């Protein structure tokens, strides 16, 4: 394969055509071939490397998703450690062997402060200080003076070392250079639900590191069977799209670790993308509760450090998604040609029968009959002309096929989604739903949804969590089908949920062999795909479940809610009674005997506020008891099915003191 | 006839005469004296029917002593409230509270029977030309999660009203809300319960001594006493006199006006007030700046009843304009329990009517396309009884829904700001163009 020619992107659905730029300003008539690596370097925004901040975010997520894929592929519960280390300028310089130089000609720099500007700044600072002193004297809360950073010049980039370690499959020693140092070098063929966006993974991070810091990427890896660790230090030759290996060696594997550890130094921006990265980790923890994440941010300034552990809450892992064949109504012309080129089958009949799902022998024969007289079941598939392939394509689009099954998909699972929500949000209540497989343009998809109310660190109103193929989507929320459905098409008040006051979490996870992303960034799913929109709507309408939960909660809280109003009501009544009894003395008005009696008692203070309050409270108690009884007889005692809980195993090396009973044992760690 | 002449003139392009034809139709205006003559006829017609009604030949439309609910033998019993004196309100509250107290002491908690003000409980009575409340009530028990808040608020409001009765003072709805913000949460809740309380006690809201902030204004040939002070509405400056929130302190109305002009919008009102339109054609100009509040409706009714003047309405040519007209005329659903006191019968729709858009050649750029919501509202209005009873209105509304165009009163300003007072209204009056 010549350099520059590209295989079909394996995981991607997005086939970039590396068209040759013609007749730009260059006078040379020779057309220049552009390597895929070059293409992505120039269009890095497509892969989510728009700016340093987003690049840091995308690097983290690519590494994390690779790690999860890798661990899941060998059915290992994932343990992922991700560390972002801030690197100061001088440290960075020393890393690349550059000597720190003092500025000599200060006026040369962009952030040079003129005399006037300096005066102004000093005056402003003095004022601020004065104000602060005043505030402090008045005992007001003193606000931390915002870090007076000078406007960062362009030269003041921040650099970060991102390290991601997992317990996955690892990589074969000899393949490592090509896996990282060549863009779109995948060889897989077929269709599968995958996390990755473009199949670029860490490669794009490598290109970015090459562009921003020039430092190589470091990879350590070991596979289960290996007794050594492969260590590789490499960068990429962007123009030729080949790896440039600095160091590739085998090292000792003392603690029988398997997995991969990737370390890359890139330019980034932690300040602006901090919350995005943390959100990403949190949402990832929601959708993959069976994984354990350790996220660390290490900075030179100690108080900026962040360490978050997202612990494992279950050991149930969704099955590994199965590779499947293409559905005839989903293929395009190019793909048919590609399949023909790759197939091992000789005849057209066999080709149709074996390279596609939902085409049986009889259907294949019928299809060939329909194609026209120049087609026959026995004809060699490789001999098809372009016109004939177009005919096949046309027929595929028009003919009716059974829908593909969702068997090849790997949804998060209702259980896991629910656990994830409970684990990360601690909601007051949660309801989840898992839809059955449906079809969009020949690709099966499954929608799962959850709705939570209340919880920790959840803001008021709708909080929408979107997942596509089990990865969180954080950007471009506004146009997304989930957001729009939740905001516009769901009548929350019919669930007795207040859309603006309650803390509502909406979780929607869509898995498919092809997610119909919109926009170049692949960050949101279009609202115009009706099938998905209606599936999402169905899912979020967990009406019966939510209403039931709310009823349950109301039952529990009825007494409290009723009692809350007892004082207000009784005081109001008593106020009037007191007034009446005052005037009653003057006998302005005649009352019935019982009323007279009440008024006399009020006057003699044998009926007081407290009497009324007590009586009303007693009544509430009585009613509550009656209603609870009624509710119990109506709804029966069918509680929710019990769920197995997962208790994380302790690591070895503890001494226990056991306290035995006939039914259980208490173990205390010494 | 006038129309014909006008059309001929318009067809002939006449570039030389740009002084008079600047204001279209101005040339067909008769002298004010002639218009006053037509107004006199209108005025006399209004007063004579009144006297006729007094003589016993009662017609439902414009009689000053209209039918009451009890005069009609309706199949469904209806609920109506009356003005109660303070002491009556007080003793009703006391009886109610004593009942509640006894019920609590007997260990039975308490609950209210609240007349339902839902739209299913409303009835338009064509004979009365207004909406009345049917007799359905809902139970509001304390011991239910859905009503515990409301019943507590109801008790609280009752006790507050009781205090007002004892002290004989007036407070605003806002005051009432601020007595216990924590309980009421927002003013709409205390306001709604206030109406409920009026229904429970069977009195008008004004008898509860709770008033709303002033909203409506009046200007023109009217003299009345407000709390003992004589007010001359021709000498109130440009803004006019704010309509007093409690109607019971208004009295001694005198006027030499020939009609009352009801204006939907503040802008049009200011125009007319500044141009002293009421001096050219003796009239009283009233506006509530949009949807009318209780005080303005009460005031309008009082003027109509005491002065026996015809009422002409100037509203926008859109469904909401007509809706506002209907609230003055037949009452709102929310306050239907008191529609007898709040509605003013026999309001004429003077303008701006959908047919005026073409008749007065209002330029395209001043007309707005109706939104889908507008059209829906318009179609809904066509189903309403109070529209149906007037064939002229149905026709106009049909035209509006058909052309899908609306226009505000201000659309007339495209001919000059004073076109409204100088040409449009006089011409309308001259042609007796009201429905």
Please state, in angstroms and rounded to a whole number, the distance separating the CA atoms of residues B294 and A567: 34
Q: In the predicted model, what is the mean pLDDT of residues A427-434?
A: 82
Both tokens of B320, joined, read: 């909401």
Q: Residue B161: what pLDDT? A: 93
Q: Which of A572, A573, A618 sits opposite B107 (nearest CB)?
A: A618
The enclosing domain of B184 has a CATH number of 1.10.10.10
Taking an 8 Å cut-off on Cβ atoms, the answer to whether B105 and A615 are in contact is yes
Is B217 found in the same domain as B203? no
Structure-model confidence comparison of residues B342 and A44, the more confident one: B342
CB A169, CB A74: distance < 8 Å: yes
Is B261 found in the same domain as B163? no
Taking an 8 Å cut-off on Cβ atoms, the answer to whether B142 and A569 are in contact is yes
Highest mean pLDDT among A339-353, A519-533, B51-65: A339-353
Residue A147 forms part of a structural domain = no
Is A454 found in the same domain as A367? no
Q: Which of B108, B155, B163 sits opposite A573 (nearest CB)?
A: B155
Q: Residue B64: what pLDDT? A: 44
Residue of A nearest to B111 (CA): A569
Both tokens of A305, joined, read: 């450090």
Q: How many domains does chain B have?
A: 2
- Which of A325-329, B25-29, B207-211 is predicted with the least confidence, judged by mean pLDDT? B25-29
Is B285 found in the same domain as B375? yes
Q: In angstroms, what CA-CA distances link B71 with B63, B65, B124, B305? A: 14, 12, 16, 19
Is B187 found in the same domain as B230? no
Q: Closest Cα to residue A594, out of B162, B158, B98?
A: B98
Q: For an interface test with A, which of B92, B96, B139, B152 has the most A Cβ atoms less than 10 Å from its Cβ?
A: B152
Is B272 found in the same domain as B417? yes
Taking an 8 Å cut-off on Cβ atoms, the answer to whether A569 and B156 are in contact is yes
Is A342 found in the same domain as A283? no
Residue A108 forms part of a structural domain = no
The enclosing domain of A430 has a CATH number of 3.30.230.10
Smallest CA–CA distance, residue A625 to chain B, in Å, is 12
Is A486 found in the same domain as A424? yes
Q: Residue B73: what pLDDT? A: 67
Q: Residue A437: what pLDDT? A: 81
Smallest CA–CA distance, residue A573 to chain B, in Å, is 6
Residue A473, phi then psi, degrees to nearest 5: -110, 125
Q: Residue A156: what pLDDT? A: 61
Domain that residue B179 falls in: 78-211
Please state, in angstroms and rounded to a whole number, the distance separating the CA atoms of residues A364 and A325: 15
Is B278 found in the same domain as B185? no
Q: How many domains does chain A have?
A: 5
Is A569's Cβ below 8 Å from some Cβ in B? yes
Residue B57 forms part of a structural domain = no
Q: Classify residue A540 as left (phi > 0), alpha (psi -120 to 50) or beta.
A: alpha
Highest mean pLDDT among A75-89, A104-118, A396-410: A75-89
CB under 8 Å to A272, separation ≥6 — which residues?
A: A53
Please state, in angstroms and rounded to a whole number, the distance separating the CA atoms of residues A363 and A365: 5
Total residues belonging to chain B: 435
Helix ranges restricted to H, B248-390: 266-274, 277-280, 294-307, 319-330, 339-342, 354-359, 372-383, 385-388
Whole-angstrom Cα Rg for chain A: 34
Q: Closest Cα to residue A48, out of A204, A279, A235, A277?
A: A204
Is B410 found in the same domain as B323? yes
Q: Is the whole-model pTM more than 0.90?
A: no
Is A554's Cβ below 8 Å from some Cβ in B? yes
Please state, in angstroms and rounded to a whole number, the distance separating the CA atoms of residues B329 and B129: 8
Q: Which residues of B362-398 are buried (b: 16+ CB within 10 A; e: fewer)?
A: beeeebeebeeebbebbeebbebebbeebeebeebbe
Is A431 found in the same domain as A573? no
Residues above pLDDT 90, as percent of chain B: 16
Triad B389, B394, B399: Cα angle to 5°: 175
Is A416 found in the same domain as A381? no
- What is the per-residue pLDDT across A159-188, written as a single tens digit (0 to 9) for each? 899 999 998 888 888 888 887 777 665 444
Among candidate residues B152, B181, B211, the one where a domain is terminated: B211
Residue B331 forms part of a structural domain = yes
Is B226 found in the same domain as B180? no
Is A303 found in the same domain as A201? yes
Residue A42 forms part of a structural domain = yes
Q: Label residue B311 by pLDDT band (50, 70, 90).
A: very high
Q: Residue A468: what pLDDT? A: 86
Is A487 found in the same domain as A348? no
Residues tagged in the binding site annotation of B for Mg(2+)? 264, 316
- What is the per-residue pLDDT across A493-513, written as a single tens digit (0 to 9) for each? 777 777 777 788 888 888 888
Residue A321, phi then psi, degrees to nearest 5: -60, 140
Is B273 found in the same domain as B408? yes
Q: Which of B107, B151, B156 sits opposite A619 (nearest CB)?
A: B107
Q: Closest Cα to residue B219, out of B145, B291, B269?
A: B269
Helix ranges restricted to H, A399-473: 414-425
**Sign of dihedral through CA atoms A175, A181, A182, A184?**
positive
Taking an 8 Å cut-off on Cβ atoms, the answer to whether B158 and A561 are in contact is no
Q: Which of B98, B145, B159 sits opposite A572 (nearest CB)?
A: B159
Please state, in angstroms and rounded to a whole number, the distance separating the CA atoms of residues A257 and B216: 83
Helices (H) and strands (E) in chain B, counts: 18, 18
Q: In the predicted model, what is the mean pLDDT of residues A308-315?
A: 85
Whole-angstrom Cα Rg for chain B: 24
Is B370 found in the same domain as B238? yes
The enclosing domain of B274 has a CATH number of 3.40.1360.10
Taking an 8 Å cut-off on Cβ atoms, the answer to whether A575 and B143 are in contact is no
CB under 8 Å to B196, separation ≥6 — which residues?
A: B114, B115, B117, B154
Residue B268 forms part of a structural domain = yes
Q: Which residues from B are below 8 Å from A619, CB to CB?
A: 104, 107-109, 142-143
**Residue B178 among the catalytic residues:** yes
- Which of A146-160, A545-559, B346-360 is predicted with the least confidence, judged by mean pLDDT? A146-160
Residue B20 forms part of a structural domain = no
**Sign of dihedral through CA atoms A109, A113, A116, A120?**
positive
* pLDDT over 70 (residue A20): no
Q: Which residues from A are below 8 Å from B180, CB to CB?
A: 568
Is A479 found in the same domain as A573? no
Q: How far does Cα A166 stand from its chain's mean position?
A: 18
Both tokens of B66, joined, read: 């209209």
Q: Beta strand B368-369 with B405-406: parallel, antiparallel or unpaired?
A: antiparallel
Q: Label residue B261 by pLDDT band (50, 70, 90).
A: very high
- When the pLDDT of each residue in chain A is averaged and rounded to a whole number, the result is 79
- What is the per-residue pLDDT across A98-126, written as a single tens digit (0 to 9) for each? 776 677 777 777 767 777 888 888 888 88
Is B382 found in the same domain as B244? yes
Is B226 found in the same domain as B112? no
Among candidate residues B188, B211, B234, the one where a domain is terminated: B211
Is A355 found in the same domain as A446? no
Is A171 found in the same domain as A253? yes
Q: Residue A81: what pLDDT? A: 93
Residue of B nearest to A561 (CA): B145
Q: Which residues from A are below 8 Å from B87, CB to CB?
A: none
Residue A469, SS3?
A: coil
Is A198 found in the same domain as A242? yes
Domain that residue A390 falls in: 328-398
Residue B345 forms part of a structural domain = yes
Residue A441 forms part of a structural domain = yes
- What is the per-residue pLDDT across B123-175, written as a single tens digit (0 to 9) for each? 888 877 888 888 888 899 998 888 899 999 999 999 999 999 999 888 999 99
Residue of B nearest to A569 (CA): B152
The catalytic position among B178, B269, B337, B419 is B178
Is A603 found in the same domain as A499? no
Please state, in angstroms and rounded to a whole number, the distance separating the CA atoms of residues A622 and A626: 6
* ipTM for this prediction: 0.78
Q: Closest Cα to residue A351, out of A321, A322, A386, A376?
A: A376
Q: In the predicted model, what is the mean pLDDT of residues A58-81?
A: 87
Is A654's Cβ below 8 Å from some Cβ in B? no
Both tokens of B196, joined, read: 């409920």
Both tokens of A472, joined, read: 């969180």
CB B407, CB B358: distance < 8 Å: no
Q: In the predicted model, what is the mean pLDDT of residues B201-207?
A: 88
- Classify residue A146 as exposed, middle or buried by CB count within 10 Å of its CB (0-12, 13-18, 19+): exposed
Q: For an interface test with A, which of B94, B149, B182, B189 has the most A Cβ atoms less than 10 Å from its Cβ?
A: B94
Residue A320 forms part of a structural domain = no
Residue B272 forms part of a structural domain = yes
CB under 8 Å to B202, separation ≥6 — which residues?
A: B79, B81, B82, B84, B92
Q: Residue A126: what pLDDT? A: 86
Taking an 8 Å cut-off on Cβ atoms, the answer to whether B145 and A618 are in contact is no
Residue of A nearest to B152 (CA): A569
Q: Residue A652: what pLDDT? A: 67
Among candidate residues B168, B188, B211, the one where a domain is terminated: B211
Q: In the predicted model, what is the mean pLDDT of residues B243-266?
A: 89
Residue B138 forms part of a structural domain = yes
CB A448, CB A432: distance < 8 Å: yes
Q: Residue A392: what pLDDT? A: 86
Q: Is the peptide bond before A208 cis (omega within 30 degrees of 0)?
A: no
Strands laid side by side in the B122-125 sheet: B78-79, B130-134, B122-125
- Which chain B residues have any C-beta within 8 angstroms of a chain A C-beta? 91, 93-94, 97-98, 100-102, 104-105, 107-110, 142-143, 145, 148-149, 151-152, 155-156, 158-159, 162-163, 166, 180, 183
Residues above pLDDT 90, as percent of chain A: 5
- What is the per-residue pLDDT across B349-373, written as a single tens digit (0 to 9) for each? 988 888 888 888 888 888 888 888 8
Q: Which of A561, A598, A607 sits opposite B148 (nearest CB)?
A: A561
Residue B333 forms part of a structural domain = yes
DSSP class per residue in A53-102: HHHHHHHHHHHHHHHHHHHHHTT---EEEEEEEEE-HHHHHHHTT-----
């Amino acid at each position: 394969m010549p350099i520059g020619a590209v295989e079909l992107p394996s995981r991607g659905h997005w086939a970039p055509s590396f068209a040759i730029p013609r007749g730009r300003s260059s006078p040379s008539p020779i057309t220049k071939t552009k390597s895929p690596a070059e293409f992505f370097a120039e269009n890095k925004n497509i892969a989510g490397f728009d700016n340093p901040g987003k690049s840091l975010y995308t690097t983290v997520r690519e590494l994390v998703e690779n790690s999860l894929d890798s661990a899941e592929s060998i059915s290992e519960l994932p343990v992922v450690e991700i560390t972002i280390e801030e690197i100061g300028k001088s440290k960075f310089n020393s890393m690349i062997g550059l000597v720190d130089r003092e500025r000599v000609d200060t006026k040369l720099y962009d952030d040079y402060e003129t005399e006037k500007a300096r005066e102004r700044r000093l005056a402003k600072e003095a004022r601020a200080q004065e104000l602060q002193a005043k505030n402090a004297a008045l005992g007001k809360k003193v606000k931390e003076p915002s870090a007076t950073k000078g406007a960062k010049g362009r030269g003041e980039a921040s650099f970060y070392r991102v390290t991601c370690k997992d317990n996955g499959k690892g990589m074969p020693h000899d393949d490592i250079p090509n896996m990282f140092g060549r863009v779109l070098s995948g060889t897989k063929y077929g269709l599968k639900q995958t996390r990755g966006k473009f199949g670029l993974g860490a490669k794009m991070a490598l290109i970015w590191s090459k562009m921003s810091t020039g430092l190589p990427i470091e990879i350590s890896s070991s596979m289960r069977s290996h007794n050594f660790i492969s260590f590789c230090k490499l960068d990429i030759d962007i123009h030729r799209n080949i790896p440039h290996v600095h160091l590739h060696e085998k090292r000792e594997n003392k603690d029988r670790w398997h997995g991969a550890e990737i370390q890359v130094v890139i330019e980034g921006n932690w300040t602006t993308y901090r919350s995005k990265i943390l959100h990403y980790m949190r949402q990832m923890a929601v959708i993959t509760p069976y994984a354990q994440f350790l996220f660390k941010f290490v900075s030179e300034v100690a108080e900026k450090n962040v360490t978050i552990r997202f612990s494992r809450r279950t050991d149930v892992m969704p099955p590994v998604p199965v590779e499947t064949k293409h559905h005839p109504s989903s293929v395009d012309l190019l793909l048919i040609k590609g399949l023909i080129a790759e197939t091992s089958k000789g005849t057209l009949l066999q080709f149709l029968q074996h390279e596609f799902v939902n085409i049986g022998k009889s259907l294949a024969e019928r299809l060939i009959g329909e194609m026209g007289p120049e087609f026959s079941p026995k004809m060699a598939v490789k001999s098809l002309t372009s016109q004939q392939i177009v005919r096949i394509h046309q027929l595929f689009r028009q003919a009716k096929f059974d829908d593909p099954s969702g068997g090849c998909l790997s949804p998060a699972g209702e259980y896991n989604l629910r656990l994830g929500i409970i684990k990360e949000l601690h909601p007051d209540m949660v309801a989840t739903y898992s839809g059955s497989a449906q079809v969009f343009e020949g690709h099966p998809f499954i929608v799962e949804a959850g709705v939570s109310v209340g919880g920790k660190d959840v803001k008021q109103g709708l909080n929408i969590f979107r997942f596509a193929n089990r990865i969180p989507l954080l950007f471009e929320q506004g146009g997304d089908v989930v957001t729009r459905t939740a905001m516009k098409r769901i009548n929350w008040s019919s669930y007795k949920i207040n859309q603006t006051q309650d803390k509502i979490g909406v979780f929607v996870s869509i898995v498919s062999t092809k997610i119909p992303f919109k926009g170049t960034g692949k960050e949101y799913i279009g609202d115009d795909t009706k099938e998905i929109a209606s599936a999402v709507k169905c899912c979020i309408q967990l009406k019966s479940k939510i209403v039931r939960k709310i009823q349950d909660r109301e039952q529990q809280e009825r007494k409290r809610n009723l009692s809350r109003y007892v004082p207000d009501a009784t005081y109001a009544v008593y106020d009037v009674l007191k007034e009446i009894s005052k005037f009653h003395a003057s006998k302005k008005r005649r009352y019935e005997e019982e009323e007279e009696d009440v008024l006399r008692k009020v006057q003699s203070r044998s009926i007081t506020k407290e009497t009324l309050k007590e009586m009303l409270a007693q009544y509430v108690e009585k009613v509550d008891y009656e209603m609870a009884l009624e509710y119990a007889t109506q709804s029966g005692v069918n509680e929710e099915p019990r769920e197995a809980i997962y208790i994380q195993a302790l690591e070895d090396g503890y001494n226990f003191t056991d306290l035995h009973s006939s039914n259980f044992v208490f173990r205390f760690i010494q | 006839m006038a129309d014909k002449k006008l059309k001929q003139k318009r067809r002939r392009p006449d570039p030389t005469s740009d002084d008079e034809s600047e204001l279209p139709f101005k040339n067909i205006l008769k002298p004010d004296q002639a218009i006053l003559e037509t107004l006199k006829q209108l005025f006399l017609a209004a007063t004579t029917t009144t006297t006729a009604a007094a003589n016993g030949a009662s017609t439902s439309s414009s009689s000053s002593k209209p039918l009451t609910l009890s005069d009609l033998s309706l199949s469904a019993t209806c609920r109506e409230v009356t003005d109660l004196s303070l002491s009556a309100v007080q003793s009703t509250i006391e009886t109610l509270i004593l009942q509640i107290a006894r019920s609590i002491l007997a260990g039975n908690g308490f609950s209210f029977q609240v007349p339902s003000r839902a739209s299913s409980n409303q009835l338009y009575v064509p004979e009365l030309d207004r909406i009345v409340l049917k007799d359905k009530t809902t139970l509001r028990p304390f011991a239910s999660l859905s009503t515990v808040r409301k019943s507590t608020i109801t008790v609280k409001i009752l006790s507050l009203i009781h205090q007002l009765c004892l002290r004989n003072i007036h407070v605003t709805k806002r005051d009432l809300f601020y007595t216990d913000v924590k309980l009421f949460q927002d003013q709409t809740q205390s306001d709604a319960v206030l109406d409920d309380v009026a229904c429970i006690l069977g009195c008008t809201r004004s008898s509860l001594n709770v008033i709303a902030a002033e909203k409506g204004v009046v200007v023109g040939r009217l003299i009345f006493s407000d709390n003992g002070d004589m007010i001359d509405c021709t000498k109130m400056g440009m803004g006019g006199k704010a309509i007093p929130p409690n109607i019971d302190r208004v009295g001694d109305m005198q006027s030499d006006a020939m009609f009352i002009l009801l204006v939907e919008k503040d802008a049009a009102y200011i125009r007319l007030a500044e141009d002293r339109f009421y001096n050219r054609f003796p009239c009283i100009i009233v506006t509530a700046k949009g949807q009318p509040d209780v005080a303005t409706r009460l005031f309008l009714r009082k003027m109509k009843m005491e002065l026996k003047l015809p009422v002409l309405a100037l509203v926008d040519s859109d469904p909401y304009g007509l809706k506002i007209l209907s609230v003055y005329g037949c009452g709102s659903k929310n306050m239907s329990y008191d529609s007898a006191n709040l509605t003013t019968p026999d309001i004429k729709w003077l303008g701006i009517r959908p047919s005026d858009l073409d008749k007065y050649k209002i330029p395209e750029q001043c007309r707005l396309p109706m939104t889908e919501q507008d059209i829906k509202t318009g179609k809904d209005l066509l189903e309403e009884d109070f529209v149906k009873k007037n064939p002229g209105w149905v026709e106009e509304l049909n035209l509006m829904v058909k052309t899908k165009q609306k226009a505000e009163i201000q659309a007339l300003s495209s001919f000059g700001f004073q076109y409204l007072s100088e040409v449009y209204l006089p011409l309308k009056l001259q042609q007796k163009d009201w429905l």
